Amino acid sequence: MSDTTNSDAKNAEELKNNDETQAKQENEDVLVHDDDNKGSAGTDEAIQEVKEDWKNKYYYVLAEMDNSRKRFQREKENLIKYGNEKILSNLIGVIDNFDHSIKALENDQDPRIKNILHGIEMVRKQFTDVLAKEGLNCIDSVGQDFNPNFHEAMAKQEAKGKRDNEIIFEYQKGYVLNGRLIRPAKVIVAENNTKQEDENNNN
């Protein structure tokens, strides 16, 4: 009877120990599982950060490439428009010489001189037409309002019947290349002092 009791007690003790061991193992398994979940969550966040970082870099490089392409296109267009600016600027002096020759001969009544004058005018027109195709054009001056962006005022002069700041005489022609000023026109501008005259009349 005593042996049976001891055996039952021993079995009960072993069952208890087994239960505790199993419970302990389950707790450890739960902790390991929790740690695995935390590690997985941390890994996912790190991966997402890397993805966002590379995405931002990709968009940055894409934007830089687009800006470079646009900048290259602008530089190409400017080169086409203004690459021959220096040589065309020098050719303006040739046009000036044509104009001086025409002015010197235009009042001569000799038929031979008139023929020469006609030939000079034809050559000048052909020459300026070629330059115009390259974008070089003369600035309109006489009869226009003075524009400091394109005209250089050499003097102001009273001119009845003309509005103030109207250009009444041109000393030297001005030129632009595809809209860019190459040489301003040198002009005389009307200034009639109409305000002063009105004040004097009122007095």
Residue-wise pLDDT tens digits, 29-63:
544 455 555 555 568 787 888 778 888 888 888 88
91, two tokens:
């050719």
pTM > 0.85: no
- Domain 137-203 listed as CATH 2.30.22.10: yes
Domain layout of the chain by residue ranges: 1-82, 84-134, 137-203
Distance in angstroms (rounded) separating the CA atoms of residues 10 and 122? 132
* Residue 194 pLDDT exceeds 60: no
Q: Strand 136-138's sheet: what is its strand order? A: 136-138, 175-177, 180-183
> What pLDDT digit, counting tens, does each position of 54-106 carry?
888 888 888 888 888 888 788 777 666 677 888 888 999 999 999 999 999 98
* pLDDT tens track for 172-183: 999 999 989 999
Nearest to 127 by CA among 168, 83, 88: 88
Q: Which residue has the tokens 């065309």?
A: 88
